[in-house]
Amino acid sequence: MTKYRALPVVTEYWKPGENYLNGILDAVEKRVANGDLVVVSEKALSTARGNIIDESSTSPSYNAKLISRLWMRIAWGYFLGVLCRLGPRLRQRLREYPLEAGSRHKQLALKQAGLLQALMWGSEGGIDGSNMPFSYVSLPLNKPYAVAALIHRQIWLKLKKKVFVIIVDTDKTYAFRNFFFTPHPKPMKGIHSLGGVTAYLVGRLFKFRKRPTPLAVAGGRLQAKEALKIANIADRARGPGSGATVWDMAARFNVATTGISWNMLSEVKHKPIVIVRKARKTPSH
């Protein structure tokens, strides 16, 4: 079994319009070696590429309001939250799910990803508000393989290093033997997207092994099983940034969930890149 070690790389917070390619090159230039796996956060890439939406301008429908009031507060806050073994603090937050902002969020999820994704308690269709300011949320990358290939090409052209580039999202992939499935709408080849809340409920109820979801690989062939292992190693090394959820983020800064600014996020250590390297074998005596 191949063993790896991880080196998280601290960078500035990538705002919309950021030259993330230069940011990646500058960050890894003196650290990366041939054969390394450069794991990059989808959230950071989406933000830098301006793939974000301000939910404050969204008008919620009746269905979105119904999902916020009944499904989120009651179904998730009580029954599903217990069945899926969500923590007591998270369940309490779901019981107090914000109706106004929450309805706008659910409306965006319905429009962008459909009903089965909107019924998730968070990260619906890869839409995520954690590590985002005000009422902004990031959307999933439309073409993650093209973005991974672009990063890989720049590392080769500018640094002359042969590496793998893997784009990863924190949304979980569940494993049933050698069958891998996830709520995320666009996982890498070999991982199946099974319709939002359905995949989440099955994975949590049956206690299947869960790991962050690799979305794309560039630089060579990598099986889903190995990519999942690497994604998990990178996620543990990276940590939650400003918070694992929007509530954790708001609690950290002691403000409302929509009161977080770009400057606040810039004060936090961000690790959008993790270099994962095969551990050297120690000689046997």
How confident is the model over 142-189, as pLDDT tens digits? Answer: 999 999 999 999 999 999 999 999 999 999 999 999 999 999 999 999
Domain boundaries, the chain: 4-52+140-278, 55-126
Q: pLDDT value at position 256? A: 82
Looking at the chain, list the stretches that DSSP marks H as alpha helix, in order from N- to C-terminal side.
20-28, 42-48, 62-66, 81-83, 88-95, 99-113, 115-118, 144-154, 197-205, 224-238, 246-253, 262-266
Domain 4-52+140-278, CATH among 3.30.930.10, 3.30.410.40, 3.40.1390.10, 3.30.1330.100: 3.30.1330.100
Answer whether residue 242 shows pLDDT above 70: no
Q: pLDDT value at position 259? A: 84
Percent of the chain with pLDDT over 90: 82
Q: pLDDT value at position 37? A: 97
Q: pLDDT value at position 246? A: 80
Model confidence at 130, pLDDT cuts 50, 70, 90, reads confident
Helix (H, G, I), strand (E, B) or coil at 173: strand
Across the range 101-124, mean pLDDT stands at: 96
| Nearest Cα to Cα of residue 80 among 175, 170, 205, 180 | 205
* Beta pairing partners, 4: 278
Question: Tell me: the pLDDT tens digits for 65-94?
Answer: 999 999 999 999 999 999 999 999 999 999
Answer whether residue 50 shows pLDDT above 70: yes
How far is it, in rounded angstroms, from Cα 248 to Cα 192?
29
In single-letter form, the type of residue at position 150 comes to L
Q: pLDDT value at position 244? A: 65
The answer to whether 36 touches 165, Cβ cutoff 8 Å, is no
Model confidence at 282, pLDDT cuts 50, 70, 90, reads low
Q: pLDDT value at position 45? A: 97
When the pLDDT of each residue in the chain is averaged and rounded to a whole number, the result is 93
Model confidence at 243, pLDDT cuts 50, 70, 90, reads low
The answer to whether 55 touches 135, Cβ cutoff 8 Å, is yes
Model confidence at 283, pLDDT cuts 50, 70, 90, reads low
Q: pLDDT value at position 248? A: 82
Q: pLDDT value at position 18? A: 92
Q: What H or E segment, with its residue span, contains residue 274? A: strand 270-278
Q: pLDDT value at position 236? A: 92
Helix (H, G, I), strand (E, B) or coil at 240: coil
